[in-house]
Structure 1
Amino acid sequence: MTATTPPLYAIGTPGQPWADTEISLWRSQQQIKRSYRELVLQPLFALLQQPEISAQAELIQYGTLDYQQFGLGQYPLYAVRSKDWQAEKPLALVTGGVHGYETSGVLGALDFIGGHFTQYADKDLNLLVLPCISPWGFETINRWNPHAVDPNRSFNAAGRESGLAQEAAAVMQLLQPSVAKVLVHVDLHETTDSDNSEFRPAKAARDGTVNTNWNIPDGFYLVDDLDNPQPAFQRAIIEAVGKVTQIAPADDDGCLIGEVLQQFGVIHYPKKSLGLCGGLTAAKFVTTTEVYPDSPNATPAQCNLAQVTTVVTALEFALATMV
């Protein structure tokens, strides 16, 4: 069997969506487990102080998450972009930490900045890297923000207008002047055991629905855009990452997380209609990574390297189309 029904979630009444009382209870149970400032901002600031990187890159603050109403303080949001920014150039966008708990997406973005940003900054692309879009989620190892809203279902007009997804709204505002220039977008994610043990049951409880868990794929895979499939682009990434870490095999039904395999290591999602970060632009080349950090077959270093390898391969593929 590829599906199991987990126990009922501890918050809420089965079949009834959460109201403010349940959301407040859920929020009160979240605890700070690690430091955004120490693990993300300090390394990021240190990278931008290196002369070879600062010559090619600049650090910008594109917003501040304000959760003081919940007693949670504020979180500054940072991006790194090409210092020699030229508005007429195509844009390469890298996003990490949309789901803050997905650690290698954040650390992989930092590793790309440290190891490869300067390599591509003088090419025919503007570069923009957002290492950690959801810092409260990073600190609490959480998929949602304090409103119990998933930022990765909020990259659309509804998400912006609700006011409940500051994380997505800040990114959309940053990109608005150049969104039409995005050629390639790599969104860095993970699939973890906690997806089944915590986050999918919590979502079903929040929404008043019944949850069915799918087997967690053992390895790396990609999510292509159903409405803009780019099989050669995805295949190039799978082949490159396969030299770094294991690519997830399909389950007995030929699926990954309940979605039919389109090619080895690749499934499709309708990214725009779901409000996913990967559907934020009209970029020709878009992919969402899914790394499995809980696998006995992968180390944290391999997970981070898989993310970096994806970004580098995506950029090389996009640049080759511009020749």
Structure 2
Amino acid sequence: MTIQAFYPIGTPGRPWGDAEVAAWRARQAVRRSYAADVLSAIETLRARFDVSEYGRLDYASDSYPLFAIRSRGWRDELPVALVTGGVHGYETSGVHGALQFVDRHAADYAGRINLLVAPCVSPWGYERIHRWNPDALDPNRSFRADSPAQESAALMRLVAPLRDRVRVHIDLHETTDSDESEFRPALAARDGKPFEPGTIPDGFYLCADSADPQPAFQQAVIAAVARVTHIAPADPDGTIIGSPVVAPGVIEYACRQLGLCAGITDAPYRTTTEVYPDSPRATPEQCNAAQAAAIRAAIDFALAHGALEGGTESA
């Protein structure tokens, strides 16, 4: 893979200011439609699920409604399963895997656990196939108090009333070749740092929360996905994207410290999926199916471990 020596915006060694962010934003073009791809799919689910608008993103001439899908017949005595997709808008299977799960599998959990699904947290990024929002901010580094990212702040407001009742949270992501060819070089340029090339893992993997990694839970998800697509091997140094592999297909991140979506609740079971859509061994359909399989395995494990009372763990 050929990597540019310098990103075409900014001055090497100097962080971006407003002019550089504006220049970067001017380069971003709409490449697909949130309304056609996502809102139309959500509309077809209204007959079976409760759909509500939990926020709206207003960026100059662009305005995007944000929708959440809930179980019909929500029962307050049941715990909650939270599914989030499209926190990075360019990670396509996170969005469509979440919608596929709702359409094909969510009904299986009726009366057992309440489902709350936010399938496309970052629609501006979805349309432009980009990781950032228009302010050149990464929503998945912005889940913290007084978040500067509208996308992150809106999701946190949605989840806040249920935060202590969430038993399982699965956040759906992808690792793509463009991470190395575009997004990490852009990040280095934005922050005025040198770009250090890395590697892209070939296959599915998980990022557990290092504060509470729940290894048996992570392995249950890996085992389910392995029936759909291949699991990423470690690099020769025993890492995936530079982080030590703690079990087959599993690394750990400090979710809250990094402002990651997977850290927004106290769910005993939480993880971040990473699908590799650029692999010659995986089709788009497999990628969506892998995300849906991961969601099902995560919820099934959570249901099988602990009392079903408000999301609290049994003794």
TM-score normalised by the chain length of structure 1: 0.93
How many residues get paired? 307
1:28 aligns with 2:26: yes
CA contact (8 A) 1:185 1:287 kept: yes
CA contact (8 A) 1:6 1:211 kept: no
Q: 1:269 aligned to 232, 253, 261, which one?
A: 253
CA contact (8 A) 1:5 1:211 kept: no
Segments ≥4 residues shifted beyond 6 Å: none
1:109 aligns with 2:101: no
CA contact (8 A) 1:6 1:213 kept: no
Aligned to 2:56: 64
Corresponding residue SS for 1:83: coil
Q: 1:88 aligned to 77, 83, 86, which one?
A: 77
Superposed, 1:126-275 pairs within 5 Å as 126-159=114-147, 164-275=148-259
Corresponding residue SS for 2:77: coil
Change (3 A) 1:42 1:4: closer
For 2:128 and 2:285, how far apart are their aligned partners in 1? 22
One-letter identity of the residue aligned with 1:122 = G
CA contact (8 A) 2:85 2:98 kept: yes
For 1:293 and 1:10, how far apart are their aligned partners in 2? 26
For 1:47 and 1:81, how far apart are their aligned partners in 2? 10
Shift of 1:89: 2.2
Corresponding residue SS for 2:174: coil
CA contact (8 A) 1:151 1:167 kept: yes
Could you report, residue by residue, the CA deviation over 1:9-33 in whole angstroms, capped at 9, with x for unpaired residues? 0000011100000000000010000
Corresponding residue SS for 1:176: helix
| Unmatched 5+ stretches in structure 1 | none
For 1:28 and 1:315, how far apart are their aligned partners in 2? 41
CA contact (8 A) 1:4 1:214 kept: no
Provide the identity percentage.
Answer: 57
Aligned to 2:265: 281
One-letter identity of the residue aligned with 1:38 = A
Q: 1:47 aligned to 35, 45, 48, which one?
A: 45
For 2:2 and 2:40, how far apart are their aligned partners in 1? 41
Corresponding residue SS for 1:184: strand
CA contact (8 A) 2:167 2:267 kept: yes
Shift of 1:4: 9.8
For 2:2 and 2:210, how far apart are their aligned partners in 1? 26
TM-score normalised by the chain length of structure 2: 0.95
One-letter identity of the residue aligned with 1:87 = D
For 1:129 and 1:15, how far apart are their aligned partners in 2? 41
Corresponding residue SS for 2:305: helix
Change (3 A) 1:230 1:134: same
For 1:134 and 1:120, how far apart are their aligned partners in 2? 27
Corresponding residue SS for 1:104: helix
Aligned to 1:319: 303
Q: Which moved more, 1:211-220 or 1:96-105?
A: 211-220
Corresponding residue SS for 2:278: coil
